[in-house]
Amino acid sequence: MKRPWVFFFVLGFFVSPLLAAEPVVLSGRAMGTTWTVKFIQPVSPLNPVTLHARISEKLEQLEQQFSTYRPTSELSRFNATPRTEWVTVSPEIARVAAAAQALSQRTGGAFDVTVSPLVQLWGFGTQRRASPPSAQEIALAQALVDWRRLEARLSPPALRKTRPDLSVDFSSIAKGFAVDEIGERLRALGVDECWVQIGGDIKTVGARGWRAGIAWPGAPGTQSPATVQVLELVGRALSTSGDANNFFQYEGRRYGHIIDPRTGEPVHSELAAVSAVDTTCATSSALATTLFVLGAEQGFTFAVRERIAALFIVRAGEGFVLKPTPEWSQVSLPGGR
């Protein structure tokens, strides 16, 4: 049976009826995707050109810290070192690593930033591949994955790996962290109301409501995608993880880019996507990935138990079923549209 082609995206737009001020919109490219900032000018207006340059500068700094594609990035240099003693890192790297380790412990390893060898093996890193690796290759790569082998220290900021060949990939949390950092930079400049988006990660700041739509396209050839949920974000972050955009197919099976560190293979389930809402985008981003790895049943149970506002989009025949947690109603608009 042919599976419908589906992808998910998030759109945001200013909707508050309370004030007539229109947002200033800035955009660009960073971290392998696009970014958008929408903000209401403060009492002392900011120069959009200067602000664009400041945002771009900050994102470049973060990319030079977290990129796994740049051999000279801070993270790439840490991955390359065989040292097993503490290695001094930037405060940003240490904070993200500490947050990642806490979530790994909380989820029993379903979230694991040491998954890098498997990401590379399956062709979702610096090199692509058209067919799955062998069972032996998977076993060898999986033996290098263990979040418990990474230690993080906030003061003074440092990381330590307890085996020399351990490598780290913060892709599932770094974009969300970058969104939070840009939001904080805008607040420091006097901006009280803003929307920051990098790829599928969004954070809003302030008391205004900003709407975000989660959507998939209809049948092939459909010109506009169908919106399945509309949210109103007030000082909250939203992230979506799914397998629709980055995958390869081999002998009729689809292999997505999200790897389950517990099995060593791409997640393969009826779950198509998960959206998660939290107060920080670093957390919502990591949670969305974690819930996708856990799957429609285990992930939903975990989300309900942890009181996470999440929406699971589950494949059902030729269509989809929406499975929200109770907390999702706090952010979704009545009727979902």
- Sequence-distant (6+) residues with CB within 8 A of 134 are none
In sequence order, what are the beta bridge partners of 151? 160
Domains for the chain: give ranges and CATH numbers.
79-171 (1.10.3980.10)
Q: Give the model confidence (pLDDT) of 91-145 as tens digits.
A: 999 999 999 999 999 999 999 999 999 999 999 888 888 899 999 999 999 999 9
Residue 226: predicted pLDDT: 67
Inter-residue contact 100 to 75 (CB < 8 Å): no
Question: Confidence band (pLDDT; 50, 70, 90) for 15?
Answer: very low
Task: Give per-residue pLDDT as tens, 170-200.
Answer: 999 999 999 999 999 999 999 999 999 999 8
Residues 6+ apart with CB under 8 A from 222: none
Ranking 218-232, 242-256, 271-285, 319-333 by mean pLDDT, the lowest is 218-232
With contact defined as beta carbons under 8 Å apart, do 62 and 178 qualify?
yes
For the whole model, what pTM was predicted? Answer: 0.89
Q: Hey, which of 12-16, 21-25, 151-155, 248-252 has the most confident mean pLDDT?
A: 151-155
Q: How confident is the model at residue 334 (pLDDT cuts 50, 70, 90)?
A: low
89: pLDDT confidence band, cut at 50, 70 and 90? very high
Could you give the percent of the chain with pLDDT greater than 70?
90
